[in-house]
Structure 1
Amino acid sequence: MISVVEIIGGMALTIAAGLLVEQLVYYFSARTGRSTAGVAMIVAPVITSSPELAVFLIALLQGKADVAWGSIVAQPFMASTIIYPVVLVVSAIFWALRRRSTPVPHVHRRVALPLLAFTIPLVPILFLHPERYGLYGRLYGALILAAYFAYAGRALGGKAEAGESPRLYLRNPVLQTAASVAAMYLGGEWLVGGITGLGASLGLDETALAVVLVPVATVLPESIAGLVFVARGKDDEGVGVIVGEKALYGTFYPGLAMALGIYTLEPAAATALIIAVVISLLEAAAVWRGYFGLTAPLGLAGYVWYLHHL
């Protein structure tokens, strides 16, 4: 029971921290004169996606490498199995409400290229077993980490649109930053403790639990902006936001873990990666045809199958 309370409390705190951090990104964009997308792309590994980073670092400090790696594998897995269907459901609901012209999001082919670019780097990870290819794994991690920063650096070229600086919930940027960091730390600590305790009491795999539970509090809040665009019929913008998040999940976090030598390819992690790669590649093919979300049934089936085989 205590483990369940810790998990719920950790999720609530990480969601609250994510909301505070997302507002800070817009605030810093207005202050620095850089585009919101560019600031988010650079700051995201430290701020926008800090709940994942917090869980990862806290798990490492506590010596729980399985939970740390599971929290990273969770991101592409949840994006391909849960986020795609959620986009399709939102699109269908607002089409029924006559707020959209089509029940399925229509996007341009250019959206497929980033989706492929952020999925393909996950494929070699499946073959770089650390017990045999530890050095190559570290080098590959450093390579995809550098690729992410090169991609993010280009995004900083845009200028912010003229407008007022958004008001912060806590009024003061230093106070709001401190509050978000505190919420992330406590939320991450509770999540790691709850996942570990639940796994031990039920005899379940800790990595698999991290794959299933951590993203509920970390992935979905980051997708809200994309869902709002889709609800308004702005499919390219909405899908672009969601696909852009895969840059983090397919390059930055796996690259960081591999460069540090913190990754495993035991069944739970490998299975989650395989599901994410297969579904994302199929989704890229669907997007190339002009549609998004056609893999939703397959994604849900993959998620249910994974839960059943924990």
Structure 2
Amino acid sequence: MMIILYMVGGFISVLIGGWLFTNSMEYVSHRYRIGSSFVGAVLSPILTSLPELIVFLIALLLYDDVSGEDVAVGTIIGEPFVVSTIIYPVIFMVAAVGFYLRRRDDVVLEVDKELTIPFIVVLLLFPTVLLPAIIKSLAVRYLIAVFLVTAYLLYAHIMRNRQGLVIEDYERLYIIRVINRLRIDWAAFILQLVVSVVLLFAGSRALVEGIIDLSKYLMLDVTGLSIIVVPTATVLPESVTAVIWTWKERDTMAVAALIGEKVLYSTIYPALALATTRWLLSVEALVSVAVVEVVSSVMLYHVIRGKLTWDVAVIGLVGYLAYLLILIHFI
């Protein structure tokens, strides 16, 4: 029972920290006149993915054993899986509620066709994370890691040139609402940034410790469990952002925040894991990669048409249920 409460506390801490961090990102975007496409597909994922990065580092630094590496690798593989499966159904539910309350014109997500770029990146690069598990060569792992980092830098450069319109109507820094005496924006921004980082660190540590302790207690596969639990918790910051943008009928921004996250976890974070872990993948990891590729392919087809329909959510749920069945089978 104490393990569950500890993980819940970590979950809440990560959620609040990510929420504050996302708000800080919007302030920086508005202050420095950075376009919406770049914010959604590049800047937002970099900032909101910090919980997963902290989980990864904590798992390696504080748990210098096999289970720590399993959590680290499971987190890297699990992020695109969670985003591809259970987040989009939530987005479409928000769109449906918005339509029912007449805040939206329809339940279809209208998106900019420029988002085909990050979807193509995910489809082409995410499967490369399987190669090191097949080719037992340290040189190959390092080569793939360098390739993935280079690919991400090229992707960021392309998206920077297609950054879109600047966000004008951003929300005021949340910390100012709590502490009215903070009249200077930069001081409020620094304070909010520090608070969010502390919350992200504390929550991530609690999640890692809970995952390892719970898996040992239940005698479950650590990698398989971490693919579901940790990313489901740490994906909340970008999910909340996407939900808000969907509610406001800023569909391109909502989808960009999610696919941008998948790009980051198809390139930079796998590269980091390849260079610092043994990178041993379980059957569950292989299945999660396959699910990500199928869902991303369907979504790419819709993005080319400029519209995402409800079948994306259905396919995501089917993939999630299939993974759960396979995880139960191999326990």
Normalising by structure 2, we get a TM-score of: 0.82
1:309 aligns with 2:313: no
RMSD: 2.8
Percent identity of paired positions between Structure 1 and Structure 2: 33
In the TM superposition, 1:132-171 aligns within 5 A as 132-155=136-159, 166-169=172-175, 171=182
1:234–1:163 distance in 2 versus 1, CA, 3 Å:
closer
Superposed CA offset, 1:196-222 (max 9, x none): 111011111111111111122221321
Alignment of 1:233 with 2:239, yes or no, is no
Deviation at 1:181, TM superposition (A): 2.0
Instruction: Show the counterpart of 1:267.
Output: 283
Instruction: Output the amino acid matched with 1:307.
Output: L
Letter in 2 for 1:20: L
Q: Is the 8 A contact 1:70 1:269 kept in 2?
A: yes
TM-score in terms of structure 1 length: 0.88
Tell me which of 190, 199, 209 is aligned to 2:206: 190
Do the aligned residues in 1 keep the contact of 2:17 with 2:196 (CA within 8 Å)?
A: yes
8 Å CA contact retained: 2:15, 2:237: yes
Post-superposition CA distance 1:181-207 (Å, at most 9, x none): 221221111101100111011111111
State the distance in 1 between where 2:45 and 2:272 align.
Answer: 10
Tell me the CA shift for residue 149 of structure 1.
2.5
In structure 2, the residue matched to 1:23 is 23
* Offset, 1:173: 3.2
In 2, distance between residues paired with 1:169 and 1:253?
A: 30
Q: Could you tell me whether the CA contact under 8 Å between 2:46 and 2:264 is conserved in 1?
A: no
TM-fit CA distance, 1:108: 4.6
Give the match for residue 181 of structure 1: 197
Unaligned runs of 5+ in 1: none
For 1:93, which of 73, 93, 97 is the aligned residue? 97
- 2:299 maps to what in 1? 283
* Residues 294 and 110 of structure 1, relative CA distance in 2, 3 Å threshold: farther
CA contact (8 A) 1:42 1:149 kept: no
**One-letter identity of the residue aligned with 1:167:** L
Q: Which stretch of the first structure deviates more once superposed, 264-273 or 170-179?
A: 170-179
Letter in 2 for 1:230: T
Report what 1:258 is aligned to.
274
Verify: 1:110 aligned to 2:126, yes or no. no
Shift of 1:83: 1.6
**Counterpart of 1:200?**
216
Give CA deviations for 1:22-60 in whole Å, capped at 9, x if unaligned.
122233335545446656776657633210111000001
- In the TM superposition, what whole-angstrom CA distance separates every residue of 1:106-126 from its partner, at most 9, and x where no partner exists? 335433332122232111222
> In the alignment, which of 245, 261, 274 is matched to residue 245 of structure 1?
261
Farther-moved stretch of structure 1 (86-95 vs 201-210) = 86-95
Deviation at 1:176, TM superposition (A): 2.4
2:179 aligns with none
Across the two proteins, how many residue pairs are aligned to each other? 310
**Contact kept in structure 1, 2:88 and 2:312, CA below 8 Å:** yes
Identify the match of residue 294 of structure 1 among 286, 306, 311. Answer: 311
CA distance in structure 2 between the partners assigned to 1:94 and 1:165 by the alignment: 20
Alpha-carbon distance change, 257 to 162 in structure 1, aligned in 2, over 3 angstroms: same
Report the residue type matching 1:6 in the other structure: Y
Q: 1:217 aligns with which of 202, 213, 233?
A: 233
Given the superposition, is the C-alpha separation of residues 173 and 288 from structure 1 closer, same or farther in structure 2, using an over 3 Å criterion? Answer: closer
| C-alpha separation in 2, matches of 1:124 and 1:28 | 33
Cα deviation digits, residues 36-94 of structure 1 (max 9, x gap): 66567766576332101110000011221000011111111011111222222222222
- Equivalent residue for 1:12? 12
Q: Does 1:80 align with 2:97?
A: no
